Copies of this chain bind each other. A is one copy, B any other.
Amino acid sequence: MADLTRETGVPVPTIKYYLREGLLPPGRPIGRNQAEYSQAHVRRLRLVRALVAYGGLSIAVIRDLVRHLDDPDVSGGDLLGAAQLTVTARHDPPPGPGRDRAERIIDDFMARHGWHDLERHPSRQTMIGLVTSLTELGREDMLDVLDDYAVAAEQIAEADLRIVGELRDRERVLEIVVLGTQLGDTIITSLRRLAQAHVAQRIHGPSPSGQSPSGSSPSGPAPCGPFPSAGTWSG
């Protein structure tokens, strides 16, 4: 077990916890209180640590995923679907006329983009809730972005599925889907911010200081307030 710690940096008590919780299979017994661990253990331990640290998943959810990973009756495609669902929140909008209208808007939208057979996908419910909110806020004009967003989302998904690649290496599928979805969401929203700043500079002029909003140095402290100093975004 000391070797496992040396190779992965995961402390022994944490490894023992993962063993007790069934996230890591037991080692091969080689004597009293001694067990041998293989490279497969090292790999599984790295995966579990990554799912805990970056997947935002509970131990129970990771245990279920790992069980699927080791179950030969679960196909690679099923594993992919299961992993995607664990990182998909579901927000059901309350029923009402606003929701019925939003449901029609989303169904038209999905049909327009050829996204079929997804009537029961949890993200369809989330979209209906978001559209309900926007229309109730009187901001139906913001729905004009949806078609552009859908085209961009499909390009993102193509890249995602290309990275998952062949479904044969099951641990890789699980790790990439969970990390790629959670870290990937943050990557996409960060790139969106950068691209917004880039496009805004192009439209409304470059910042005179040649720097972007925050006045602090890259390695310095975070800015105290949420606002750029005057003039850093000329409009």
Contact = CB atoms under 8 A, between A and B. Distances in A.
Nearest to A227: B82
A90 interface: yes
Interface in A192-235: 192-201, 203-207, 210-219, 222-223, 225-228, 230-235
A187 B130 contact: yes
Given A92-B222, A156-B195, A201-B117, A130 B163 contact: no
Name A's interface SS.
helix
A77 B44 CA distance: 50
B226 A86 contact: yes
A212 B181 CA distance: 18
A157 B199 contact: yes
A56 interface: no
Contacts of A201: 117
Interface of A: 46, 50, 54, 61, 64-65, 68, 73-82, 84-86, 88, 90, 92, 95, 110, 114-127, 130, 133-134, 137-139, 141-142, 144-146, 148-163, 167, 175-176, 179-181, 183-201, 203-207, 210-219, 222-223, 225-228, 230-235
